[in-house]
């Protein structure tokens, strides 16, 4: 998004999208390219950003055909993330993947890997909303299903992570 705004050149963004998706292993993309196979290099939450990246690309360029080339693959990646859900539908990635959200957790000795976290599940809601928007012109039934799931997950986040005593969301 920043590159597009700074330069107006979409070629680098197109290359980065294609390159990231070319590294897909076991259904997810890693955080590095080339990927050497170490599970710790799969930054689980960044897989949820792919629909947001496509959404930004579309908003900036208007190139719906290019975005639609990747829409099914990106949806499959989101569904792979969803396969690591708990009984309530909240994402809970396996320990071998880095549940990286922010350096402050790691730097303070709080490891989120293997944990069901509030912020990652909010990312999931944003992701589902983005997929709904991207699918609306091409498959309205998928768009409706993604919107419905986003609402269900948001409601569950409220129930699970809201702490009424502290009047805030807890992280895990």
Residues in the chain: 172
pLDDT at 117: 93
pLDDT at 8: 80
Q: What is the DSSP string of 116-127?
A: --HHHHHHHHHH
pLDDT at 68: 96
Q: Exposure of 165 by Cβ count < 10 A (0-12 exposed, 13-18 middle, 19+ buried)?
A: exposed
Q: Exposure of 102 by Cβ count < 10 A (0-12 exposed, 13-18 middle, 19+ buried)?
A: exposed
pTM of the full structure: 0.92
With H, G, I as helix, E, B as strand and everything else as coil, classify residue 169. strand
pLDDT at 112: 86
Tens place of pLDDT per residue across the chain (172 aa)? 777 888 888 999 999 899 999 988 889 999 888 888 888 889 899 999 999 999 999 999 999 999 999 999 999 999 999 999 999 999 999 999 988 888 888 888 888 888 889 999 999 999 999 999 999 999 999 999 999 999 999 999 999 999 999 999 998 8
With contact defined as beta carbons under 8 Å apart, do 135 and 71 qualify?
Answer: yes
pLDDT at 148: 98
């Amino acid at each position: 998004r920043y590159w597009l705004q700074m330069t107006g050149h979409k070629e680098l963004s197109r290359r980065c999208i294609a390159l990231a998706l070319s590294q897909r292993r076991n259904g997810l993309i890693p955080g590095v390219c080339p990927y050497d196979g170490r599970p710790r290099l799969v930054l689980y939450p960044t897989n949820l950003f792919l629909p947001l990246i496509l959404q930004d690309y579309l908003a900036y360029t208007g190139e719906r055909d290019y975005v639609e080339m990747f829409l099914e693959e990106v949806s499959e990646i989101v569904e792979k993330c969803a396969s690591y859900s708990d009984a309530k539908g909240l994402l809970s990635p396996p320990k071998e993947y880095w549940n990286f959200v922010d350096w402050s957790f790691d730097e303070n000795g709080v490891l989120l890997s293997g944990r069901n976290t509030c912020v990652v599940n909010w990312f999931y809601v944003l992701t589902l909303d983005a997929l709904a928007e991207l699918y609306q012109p091409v498959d309205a039934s998928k768009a409706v299903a993604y919107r419905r799931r986003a609402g269900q997950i948001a409601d569950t986040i409220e129930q699970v992570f809201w702490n009424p005593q502290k009047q805030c969301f807890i992280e895990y």
